[in-house]
Structure 1
Protein backbone atom coordinates (compact mmCIF):
# COMPACT_ATOMS: atom_id res chain seq x y z
CA UNK A 1 0.00 0.00 0.00
CA UNK A 2 1.32 3.43 -0.94
CA UNK A 3 -0.79 5.43 1.50
CA UNK A 4 -2.30 8.78 0.81
CA UNK A 5 -5.94 9.65 0.40
CA UNK A 6 -7.94 11.38 -2.32
CA UNK A 7 -11.23 13.03 -1.47
CA UNK A 8 -13.63 13.62 -4.36
CA UNK A 9 -16.36 16.20 -3.91
CA UNK A 10 -18.97 16.35 -6.69
CA UNK A 11 -20.48 19.68 -7.76
CA UNK A 12 -22.94 20.84 -10.40
CA UNK A 13 -23.59 24.28 -11.84
CA UNK A 14 -24.41 26.02 -15.08
CA UNK A 15 -22.11 28.87 -14.03
CA UNK A 16 -18.48 27.76 -14.39
CA UNK A 17 -17.12 31.22 -13.53
CA UNK A 18 -18.83 31.20 -10.13
CA UNK A 19 -17.63 27.72 -9.18
CA UNK A 20 -14.10 28.54 -10.30
CA UNK A 21 -14.13 31.68 -8.15
CA UNK A 22 -15.50 29.68 -5.20
CA UNK A 23 -12.84 27.01 -5.73
CA UNK A 24 -10.04 29.60 -5.66
CA UNK A 25 -11.49 31.24 -2.54
CA UNK A 26 -11.78 27.90 -0.72
CA UNK A 27 -8.25 26.92 -1.81
CA UNK A 28 -6.82 30.12 -0.31
CA UNK A 29 -8.68 29.37 2.95
CA UNK A 30 -7.25 25.83 2.96
CA UNK A 31 -3.62 26.91 2.55
CA UNK A 32 -1.46 25.44 5.29
CA UNK A 33 -3.91 22.78 6.50
CA UNK A 34 -1.77 19.97 7.96
CA UNK A 35 -1.78 16.90 5.74
CA UNK A 36 -3.39 18.60 2.73
CA UNK A 37 -1.04 18.09 -0.19
CA UNK A 38 -3.09 19.95 -2.81
CA UNK A 39 -6.35 20.00 -4.72
CA UNK A 40 -7.73 20.31 -8.25
CA UNK A 41 -10.97 21.46 -9.83
CA UNK A 42 -12.01 19.16 -12.68
CA UNK A 43 -14.81 19.74 -15.18
CA UNK A 44 -16.61 16.88 -16.86
CA UNK A 45 -16.18 16.56 -20.61
CA UNK A 46 -19.49 14.70 -20.93
CA UNK A 47 -21.62 16.89 -18.62
CA UNK A 48 -20.68 20.59 -18.76
CA UNK A 49 -22.46 21.20 -15.45
CA UNK A 50 -20.43 18.52 -13.66
CA UNK A 51 -17.38 19.44 -11.58
CA UNK A 52 -15.25 17.53 -9.10
CA UNK A 53 -12.84 18.87 -6.52
CA UNK A 54 -10.13 16.29 -5.84
CA UNK A 55 -8.02 16.92 -2.76
CA UNK A 56 -4.90 14.94 -1.93
CA UNK A 57 -4.07 14.17 1.68
CA UNK A 58 -1.05 12.57 3.32
CA UNK A 59 -3.26 10.04 5.08
CA UNK A 60 -6.82 9.40 6.20
CA UNK A 61 -6.04 10.51 9.77
CA UNK A 62 -5.00 13.99 8.61
CA UNK A 63 -8.18 14.32 6.56
CA UNK A 64 -10.43 13.11 9.39
CA UNK A 65 -8.80 15.45 11.92
CA UNK A 66 -9.32 18.41 9.61
CA UNK A 67 -12.90 17.35 8.84
CA UNK A 68 -13.74 17.23 12.58
CA UNK A 69 -12.00 20.55 13.25
CA UNK A 70 -13.74 23.88 13.78
CA UNK A 71 -12.33 25.48 10.59
CA UNK A 72 -13.63 22.82 8.19
CA UNK A 73 -17.01 24.38 7.42
CA UNK A 74 -15.73 27.95 7.04
CA UNK A 75 -12.88 26.86 4.78
CA UNK A 76 -15.17 24.96 2.40
CA UNK A 77 -18.17 27.33 2.60
CA UNK A 78 -17.61 28.98 -0.82
CA UNK A 79 -18.11 25.64 -2.61
CA UNK A 80 -21.05 24.37 -0.57
CA UNK A 81 -23.79 25.94 -2.78
CA UNK A 82 -22.48 23.94 -5.73
CA UNK A 83 -22.74 20.45 -4.21
CA UNK A 84 -24.27 18.04 -6.68
CA UNK A 85 -27.67 17.32 -5.14
CA UNK A 86 -28.45 14.89 -7.95
CA UNK A 87 -26.31 12.37 -6.08
CA UNK A 88 -27.32 10.62 -2.88
CA UNK A 89 -23.79 11.24 -1.56
CA UNK A 90 -21.87 14.17 -3.11
CA UNK A 91 -18.44 12.98 -1.97
CA UNK A 92 -16.27 9.94 -1.51
CA UNK A 93 -12.89 9.09 0.00
CA UNK A 94 -10.37 6.86 -1.75
CA UNK A 95 -7.18 5.48 -0.30
CA UNK A 96 -4.25 5.19 -2.68
CA UNK A 97 -3.35 1.53 -3.10
CA UNK A 98 -0.73 1.76 -5.85
CA UNK A 99 1.04 4.41 -7.93
CA UNK A 100 3.60 4.55 -10.72
Structure 2
Protein backbone atom coordinates (compact mmCIF):
# COMPACT_ATOMS: atom_id res chain seq x y z
CA UNK A 1 0.00 0.00 0.00
CA UNK A 2 1.14 3.38 -0.87
CA UNK A 3 0.50 5.86 1.93
CA UNK A 4 0.88 9.54 1.23
CA UNK A 5 1.41 11.74 4.18
CA UNK A 6 -0.14 15.14 3.66
CA UNK A 7 1.46 17.85 5.65
CA UNK A 8 -0.99 20.35 6.99
CA UNK A 9 -0.69 23.82 5.54
CA UNK A 10 0.76 26.22 8.05
CA UNK A 11 -1.09 29.47 8.30
CA UNK A 12 0.53 32.66 9.47
CA UNK A 13 -1.10 34.02 12.56
CA UNK A 14 -0.80 37.81 12.35
CA UNK A 15 -2.00 40.02 15.13
CA UNK A 16 -3.95 42.58 13.11
CA UNK A 17 -4.06 44.98 16.06
CA UNK A 18 -0.27 45.26 15.99
CA UNK A 19 -0.24 45.71 12.22
CA UNK A 20 -2.88 48.43 12.49
CA UNK A 21 -1.00 50.15 15.33
CA UNK A 22 2.20 50.04 13.27
CA UNK A 23 0.46 51.53 10.25
CA UNK A 24 -1.10 54.31 12.34
CA UNK A 25 2.23 55.15 13.98
CA UNK A 26 3.97 55.16 10.60
CA UNK A 27 1.35 57.52 9.16
CA UNK A 28 1.61 59.80 12.20
CA UNK A 29 5.40 59.83 11.90
CA UNK A 30 5.14 60.74 8.22
CA UNK A 31 2.85 63.66 9.06
CA UNK A 32 5.25 64.89 11.77
CA UNK A 33 8.26 64.52 9.44
CA UNK A 34 6.44 66.33 6.62
CA UNK A 35 5.49 69.15 8.95
CA UNK A 36 9.09 69.43 10.13
CA UNK A 37 10.36 69.62 6.55
CA UNK A 38 7.85 72.34 5.68
CA UNK A 39 8.84 74.41 8.73
CA UNK A 40 12.57 74.02 7.98
CA UNK A 41 12.07 74.93 4.30
CA UNK A 42 10.06 78.01 5.26
CA UNK A 43 12.80 79.14 7.65
CA UNK A 44 15.53 78.70 5.00
CA UNK A 45 13.43 80.47 2.35
CA UNK A 46 12.72 83.41 4.71
CA UNK A 47 16.42 83.70 5.59
CA UNK A 48 17.33 83.74 1.88
CA UNK A 49 14.80 86.46 1.16
CA UNK A 50 16.14 88.54 4.07
CA UNK A 51 19.72 88.08 2.85
CA UNK A 52 18.82 89.20 -0.68
CA UNK A 53 16.75 92.13 0.61
CA UNK A 54 19.68 93.30 2.79
CA UNK A 55 22.22 93.22 -0.09
CA UNK A 56 23.62 96.56 -1.25
CA UNK A 57 23.54 95.41 -4.90
CA UNK A 58 20.78 93.02 -6.06
CA UNK A 59 21.94 89.65 -7.45
CA UNK A 60 20.72 90.41 -10.98
CA UNK A 61 22.70 93.66 -11.05
CA UNK A 62 25.79 91.86 -9.64
CA UNK A 63 25.51 89.22 -12.37
CA UNK A 64 25.23 91.89 -15.06
CA UNK A 65 28.32 93.70 -13.71
CA UNK A 66 30.33 90.46 -13.60
CA UNK A 67 29.24 89.60 -17.14
CA UNK A 68 30.42 93.01 -18.39
CA UNK A 69 33.73 92.59 -16.54
CA UNK A 70 34.23 89.14 -18.07
CA UNK A 71 33.49 90.45 -21.58
CA UNK A 72 35.90 93.36 -21.11
CA UNK A 73 38.62 91.06 -19.76
CA UNK A 74 38.10 88.68 -22.66
CA UNK A 75 38.29 91.53 -25.17
CA UNK A 76 41.47 92.90 -23.52
CA UNK A 77 43.04 89.43 -23.55
CA UNK A 78 42.18 88.94 -27.21
CA UNK A 79 43.67 92.35 -28.10
CA UNK A 80 46.84 91.61 -26.12
CA UNK A 81 47.19 88.23 -27.81
CA UNK A 82 46.67 89.71 -31.26
CA UNK A 83 49.12 92.51 -30.49
CA UNK A 84 51.74 90.07 -29.19
CA UNK A 85 51.34 87.70 -32.12
CA UNK A 86 51.53 90.64 -34.56
CA UNK A 87 54.76 91.84 -32.91
CA UNK A 88 56.28 88.38 -33.09
CA UNK A 89 55.38 87.96 -36.77
CA UNK A 90 56.91 91.33 -37.58
CA UNK A 91 60.13 90.61 -35.67
CA UNK A 92 60.52 87.19 -37.27
CA UNK A 93 60.17 88.60 -40.79
CA UNK A 94 63.05 91.05 -40.34
Higher RCO (CA 8 Å, separation ≥ 6 residues) = 1
TM-score under structure 2 length normalisation = 0.20
Q: Which structure's residues are more often helix, by fraction?
A: 2
Task: Looking at secondary structure, tell me which structure has more strand per residue.
Answer: 1
